[in-house]
Amino acid sequence: MNHKNRLSFVLLPSLILIASLSACDNRQEQAQSAYADYQAAVVGGDLREVRRALAKLVAADDSNADYWVELGKVCMQLSDYGAAYDAFQRAHELNRSNVEVLSIMTQLALRGGNLEVASDNARQLELVAPTNSAVPLTKGYVALRRGDFEEADRQVAAFAALAPFDPNGKVLQSRILMAQGRREDAITLLSSQITQQPSDAMSLRALASIYELKEDWPQAASALRSYLNWQPTDQQARVRLVEAELRSGAIDAAAAVTLKGVEKDDIDVLLAPWIALGLQDKVADRLFTWAQSADTGRRIAIARFLTFTAQPARVLSLIEKDASLPVRPANIVANAIYGTALVQSGRARDGLSRLDAVLQVDGKNREALRARALLRSRAGQHEAAIEDAQKLVAADRNAPSARLLMARVYAASGDTEGARRTLWEAFHDIGGDRTIYDALKPLVAKSDGADAAQRLSQEFYDKRNEQITRSFA
């Protein structure tokens, strides 16, 4: 071996070792920095910042089970149960001796309605901790799904013996009563539980779900308000409260909840009930005033909401400086909203030009497709309008608003059957959505008669019952 080869033979492993040590040092530095950010976020009290810091921490150090557990707990506090399950699952992979983690995974799977996963987790849990209360709880839900109410009640009793103060047993018992058609008994059970434990957020959420199914909106709103006192970060519950207040006719109360939520929540989701119920004008002034001092992202979100009102001048004033040309990925949302407002203000040619520019950059931009479909429909360009509406649905198949727009475009073209078909498909794809049901029912009654409309109503309420009762697992 010559000296050059010998030197390479000696240096190569050394260089690899040095590179490896350097990478380790770099990861350690990243982990230390992320941990410092996490501590600062905890002190600040902002759960979303805590989650972001923990996400960086587990990215820097994927092998620490404790970090994953903390991330899972924070996700639960934020009501992001899917992310919570993923975090606890990773913690379980790293440390299979942690019974508490496996128990939480079991209950999260139950809450998500995934009884197969919950049962598998419960079987594992029973092997290592046979007296863990999650075992009979899971067996109770499995028996409930089979329709074996007697066995489900036995498991409720077994659960109560292991965890007499845990509200999960009362919630399961209320679901059994609901499945037996004893809705008032379920309400009485949960109301009694809440009287004894006013901080029982789980029972409050379940009670709100029953009132929603019953369409007793004032009572649903009352339960949700109480629930949010204990779980203020639950965005989904805040959206439900807005809808319940609106359906109760409590516009000011709904506006107060909304204005509180726009500070931190997903604005599009929070404002959806106002649009779905056609009440967007009732809160538009307050939101426009609030948006004046909002950050860029939230100001743009409010501008988007205002496109559903007859206030294009306000939209333009909020977003004009953000909708610069040329259209780029960084300003595409602002330009889509700006183009929509131009169309609404009577500047159809300028608006269409802007929308076309947006769709050249992103052919699936939902805002631009919605605006262009409506513009083309009003102009009598029905084939092109239907094509845009179909693209919109393809871009977001789970959005009821997209399906409703496509039905509206079909109806405007004179294709009543196309509108009816669109709504039927939406009814089956997006089960339990009231806006779809409300649009479809008169079409079914007109074409197929009162009996068909009644069957549709029954199917809708069955879907709602399944959807709502699952929500308080």
50: pLDDT strictly greater than 60: yes
For residues 377 and 404, membership in a common domain is answered with no
**Does 333 reside within a domain?**
yes
Largest CA distance in the chain: 96
**Run of H or E residues at 269:** helix 267-276
Say if residue 384 is in the same domain as residue 401: no
Question: Are 302 and 385 within one domain?
Answer: yes
Checking if the pLDDT of 335 tops 70, the result is yes
- For 186-239, write each residue's pLDDT tens digit: 999 999 999 999 999 999 999 999 999 899 999 999 999 999 999 998 899 999
Mean pLDDT of 233-254: 96
Where is the domain boundary, 356, 374, 394?
394
pLDDT for residue 150 is more than 50: yes
Asked, for residue 234, whether it belongs to a domain, the answer is no
Contact 298, 282 (CB under 8 A): no
Ramachandran category for residue 37: left, alpha or beta (phi over 0 → left; psi -120 to 50 → alpha)? alpha
* 381 backbone φψ class: left, alpha, beta (φ>0; ψ -120 to 50): beta
How far apart are the C-alpha atoms of 303 and 387, rounded to whole Å?
Answer: 26
Range of the structural domain that residue 385 is part of: 294-394
For residue 384, what is the domain's CATH number? Answer: 1.25.40.10
Same domain? 366 vs 445: no
* C-alpha pair distances (Å), 444 with each of 385, 386, 410: 24, 22, 16
pLDDT of residue 18: 47
Q: What are phi and psi of 431, to 5 degrees?
A: -60, 135
Inside any domain, residue 310: yes
Classify residue 390: in a domain, yes or no. Answer: yes
Are 314 and 403 in a shared domain? no
Is 190 inside a domain boundary?
no
In the numeric block, the tokens 């609106």 are attached to: 246
Q: Is 90 exceeded by the pLDDT of residue 102?
A: no
Contacts of 273 (CB under 8 A, 6+ apart): 239, 242, 243, 246, 254
**pTM value?**
0.80
> What pLDDT score does 184 carry?
96
Mark 32-49 as b/e (b = at least 16 C-beta within 10 Å). eebbebbeebbeeeebee
400 and 390 in a common domain: no
Residue ending a domain, choose from 394, 416, 441: 394
Most confident of 45-59, 129-143, 204-218: 204-218
**Residue 75 maps to a domain:** no
Q: How many domains does the chain have?
A: 2
pLDDT digits (tens, 9 = 90+) for 288-319: 999 999 999 999 999 999 999 989 999 999 99
Q: What is the pLDDT of residue 469?
A: 56
Encode pLDDT of 389-426 as tens digits: 999 999 988 899 999 999 999 999 999 999 999 999 99
In this structure, the answer to whether residues 320 and 373 fall within a common structural domain is yes
Same-domain status, 372 and 416: no
pLDDT digits (tens, 9 = 90+) for 336-352: 999 999 999 999 999 99
pLDDT at 162: 94
Res 21: pLDDT: 43
Query: Which of 364, 394, 424 is the endpoint of a domain?
Result: 394
